[in-house]
A and B are shown apart, each in its own frame.
Chain A
């Protein structure tokens, strides 16, 4: 697909989401925001998993770094949402730099286990430092304020702030994936030894990928805190890191649009299943099984393959 066509499709998505924000009812608007937040989280996360080939269980904690920093700034310093978000992203970047510095020394399962350990350390700190973090209650009473004089108190208004950051994420991640840096990350995934023999400091690039994806986690976290008006200590738990993995896998690990499609499927499916049964986990587990056993490239991966096959047969027929 040409770059222009790609941009056209994404502009279409943004326009559709904007229409949803203007025309949709409260429920639709809320769901739209949930999808976009998850997509921000997953798009960033997939730079690490799908691109660099590293599985992290620590991104829930980085999300929480964003949430709690945003909340602390909001409650104690200023109610300016942009400053709060800035603080959230900066703090997530700082923590990912520290955590990542140690974790990128290892790969594969050892990397995953190290991120699990660091993530759970952050979780236990949030859980136990009640005076600062509110312990199991989280921090409550976050106010949304206004951006450049425009109020974002109502969901219908806040929606457009989320949409702005969603669009920004889409653009940034697309740029990163098509950059030289993005190609090098794919090289590290394919063959890290060869990458270092190409003259690339592999650990430093892994760390950079970790920090970049951590910043998106922080962005999603600070927006999430504003959406819910509070922070959730369990967002730091390792199991929250499994969410973007699931989403990327549903949509397709190696595609750019994978996490996007996956987020929609994840949130919508969950809503539908929960409406009809009490057992959302059961059905989700079954769907997950089906995806892993059948559609290994995820929804978008499968589509892409189908398209490529069709193009190939057409070419062969000429």
Chain B
């Protein structure tokens, strides 16, 4: 058993009459690669948005490493080690790949506020940035403007920016969305490798079943704001309710 990183207590969130989270209670354990799946409109994206501070919740509590972070602004959560990537490419388009990763590294090393020291003199920062670019296989593209990257590389950069904040818990929101099969296999390889290195615990929010079952230690199935199933991939695969509401023909086929 690893340390409990995230603890969600009685979380509720609704948009008008549409309930996207109903009395959710769950924990995320360090070192366990967890996936959250569910059909469209199940409340997956809303859940990440609430947990990372992009949206306010209606009621409930979020504890991170034992500390109540329910009301904290986004950057405070990031500083405590809770970060995310985005479903659509969400990088700094006109900055270089290096600079894209440099911003979170500067923040993480508490050097973002240096106002007169040239940023090129921050050797420790540059070293860290290159390390992350190597881990995400982008070292060769360091000087390229982000908007000029291929879509697959932009997705990798997306993960790289999130990793640069040195999170202990990282939500990946559909990391393979819009990728071709080759890129998809590639990024999964990277995620598995980084996950195995142990610094960061991943929670993957996905649509694609193959990814979820091949990668995860634990799968949570969300439907209309409720957790309808939670357990190992095999357990979830065999669950009747999950089959009915969501997997259905996909698994049978």
Contact = CB atoms under 8 A, between A and B. Distances in A.
Direct touching of A and B (C-beta under 8 Å): yes
Interface of A: 3, 172, 175-176, 178-184, 186-187, 190-191, 193-202, 205, 208, 212
A3 to B, nearest CB: 8
Contacts of B113: 180-181
Given A180-B111, A183-B103, A187-B99, 5 more contacts: A175-B116, A178-B120, A190-B93, A199-B75, A201-B75
B108 interface: yes
B42 interface: no
Contacts of A191: 90-93
B4 interface: no
Interface of B: 52, 54, 73-75, 78-79, 83-84, 86, 90-95, 99, 102-104, 106-108, 111-120, 122, 125, 161-162, 164-165
Contacts of A180: 106, 111-115, 117, 119, 122, 125
B91 A194 contact: yes
B92 A196 contact: no
A194 B107 contact: no
Contact of B104 (A175, A181, A199, A202): A199
A32 B75 CA distance: 45
A179 B84 contact: no
A47 to B, nearest CB: 11
Given A178-B120, A184-B106, A187-B103, A198 B165 contact: yes
Contact of A187 (B78, B92, B116, B122): B92
Instruction: Return the 10 tightest CB-CB contacts between A and B, nearest first.
Output: A198-B104, A199-B78, A199-B107, A190-B92, A181-B115, A180-B114, A187-B103, A196-B74, A180-B119, A178-B118
B128 to A, nearest CB: 13
Nearest to B101: A198
A198 B157 CA distance: 13
Contacts of B79: 199
A181 B114 contact: yes
Given A176-B115, A180-B113, A184-B112, A195 B103 contact: yes
Contact of A194 (B92, B114, B118): B92
Contacts of A208: 115
B114 A198 contact: no
A191 B92 CA distance: 6
Nearest to A198: B104
Task: Kindly name the residue among A178, A187, A202 whose own CB sees the greatest number of chain B CB atoms within 10 A.
Answer: A187
Contacts of A197: 52, 74-75, 78, 83-84, 104, 161-162, 165
B119 A183 contact: yes
A179 B83 contact: no
Contacts of B54: 193
Contacts of A183: 95, 99, 102-103, 106, 119
8 contacts: A176-B115, A180-B106, A180-B117, A180-B122, A184-B103, A187-B103, A196-B75, A199-B75
Contacts of B122: 180
A45 to B, nearest CB: 17
A179 B90 contact: no
Nearest to B85: A197
A183 B126 CA distance: 13
Contacts of B104: 197-199
A198 B85 CA distance: 10
A199 B165 contact: yes
B112 A186 contact: no
B95 A190 contact: yes
Contacts of A181: 112-115
B243 to A, nearest CB: 36
A194 to B, nearest CB: 5
A285 B172 CA distance: 50
Given A187-B103, A198-B107, A199-B107, A193 B90 contact: yes
Nearest to B146: A190
A198 B119 contact: no
A249 B83 CA distance: 37
Contacts of B92: 186-187, 190-191, 194
Identify which of B102, B112, B117, B161 gathers the most chain A CB atoms within 10 Å of its CB.
Answer: B112
A196 B73 contact: yes
Contacts of A200: 75, 103, 107, 112
B144 to A, nearest CB: 13
Highest count of chain A CB atoms <10 Å: which of B73, B74, B125: B74
A175 B94 CA distance: 21
A137 to B, nearest CB: 39
Counting chain B CB atoms within 10 Å of each CB, the highest count among A180, A190, A201, A208 belongs to A180
Contacts of B99: 183, 186-187
Contact of A198 (B120, B125, B164): B164
Contacts of B73: 196, 201
A180 B128 CA distance: 15
Nearest to A212: B115
B151 to A, nearest CB: 17
